């Protein structure tokens, strides 16, 4: 099974091709959020370097959210267009789920945190325990709420673009119980999206390209209250 995976849910734009359990190519750019300009040339170059065409791909996968509204739309629409052109199936992969896959078979709870601005994060929690399991569903909350909930665990591994933003606060609150992997696995990786997609495809969890859509998390209460306050101040 050959999978082409895309992730443009954050500042990083990344595409990868995986053949069964083997990663055969991956490109990542984490420089300015110009995904609409870069993702298709990146995919074209990747396929060219691998001497493949879209017709050689069996499954197209995309990180569908949460994440940047615009970024998610770009990644999802790109995967759908390619799948449509090649008449192939697609797999929707949660962005946070794929981030947790960056740390395979970890001994501790994995908590991806994506920066949602204004001290908010998109987060969830996962564990490798006789397989990969979600133990806390995706949500949009403040970093304070996130760290407080992590206090229930003995040790927690943090990944995602929210780590550089909130690392100092996390360490202040959790100390040595907060674990941070090296920078190469902190950010979104299309290879992880591809790995999740292969597992899902083996379980029959594929879709028509018409069914794939971005997954948006409702804004946190704190963010909604902030926006309401801003609206009130603008009216005065």
Task: Give burial (CB, 10 Å; 0-12/13-18/19+) of 82.
Answer: buried
Dump pLDDT digits (tens) for 97-108: 999 999 999 999
- Beta strands 59-65 and 89-94: pairing type? parallel
What count of other Cβ atoms lies within 10 Å of the Cβ of residue 109? 22
Q: pLDDT value at position 4? A: 98
Dump pLDDT digits (tens) for 143-161: 999 999 987 778 999 999 9
Q: pLDDT value at position 171? A: 96
What count of other Cβ atoms lies within 10 Å of the Cβ of residue 150? 22
> Which of 174, 64, 52 is closest to 111 using CA atoms?
174
Is 201 a residue whose pLDDT tops 90? yes
Kindly report whether the peptide bond that precedes residue 66 is cis, defined as omega within 30 degrees of 0: yes
Q: pLDDT value at position 221? A: 53
- Beta strands 59-65 and 2-7: pairing type? parallel
Q: What is the pTM of this model?
A: 0.90
Q: Who's near 198: CB < 8 A, 6+ residues apart?
A: 1, 3, 18, 20, 21, 59
Task: Give burial (CB, 10 Å; 0-12/13-18/19+) of 188.
Answer: buried
Instruction: Kindly report which listed range (20-24, 152-156, 231-235) carries the lowest average pLDDT score.
Output: 231-235
pLDDT band at 30 (very low <50, low <70, confident <90, very high): confident
Token readout for 214 is 């971005």
């Amino acid at each position: 099974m050959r999978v082409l995976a895309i992730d443009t849910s954050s500042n990083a734009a990344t595409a990868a091709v995986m053949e069964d359990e083997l990663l055969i190519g991956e490109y990542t750019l984490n420089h300015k959020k110009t995904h609409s300009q870069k993702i298709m040339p990146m995919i074209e170059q990747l396929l060219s370097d691998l001497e493949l065409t879209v017709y050689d791909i069996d499954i197209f996968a995309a990180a569908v959210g949460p994440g940047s509204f615009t970024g998610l739309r770009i990644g999802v629409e790109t995967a759908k267009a390619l799948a449509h052109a090649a008449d192939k199936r697609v797999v929707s992969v949660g962005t946070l789920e794929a981030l947790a896959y960056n740390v395979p078979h970890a001994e501790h709870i994995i908590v991806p945190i994506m920066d949602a601005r204004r001290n908010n994060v998109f987060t969830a929690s996962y564990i490798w325990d006789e397989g990969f399991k979600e133990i806390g569903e995706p949500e949009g909350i403040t970093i304070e709420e996130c760290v407080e909930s992590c206090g229930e665990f003995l040790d927690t591994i943090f990944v995602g673009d929210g780590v550089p933003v909130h690392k100092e606060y996390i360490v202040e609150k959790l100390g040595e119980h907060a674990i941070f992997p090296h920078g190469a696995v902190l950010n979104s990786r299309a290879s992880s999206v591809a790995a999740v997609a292969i597992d899902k495809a083996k379980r029959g969890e594929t879709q028509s390209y018409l069914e794939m859509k971005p997954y948006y998390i409702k804004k946190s209460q704190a963010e909604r209250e902030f926006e309401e306050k801003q609206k009130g101040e603008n009216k005065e």
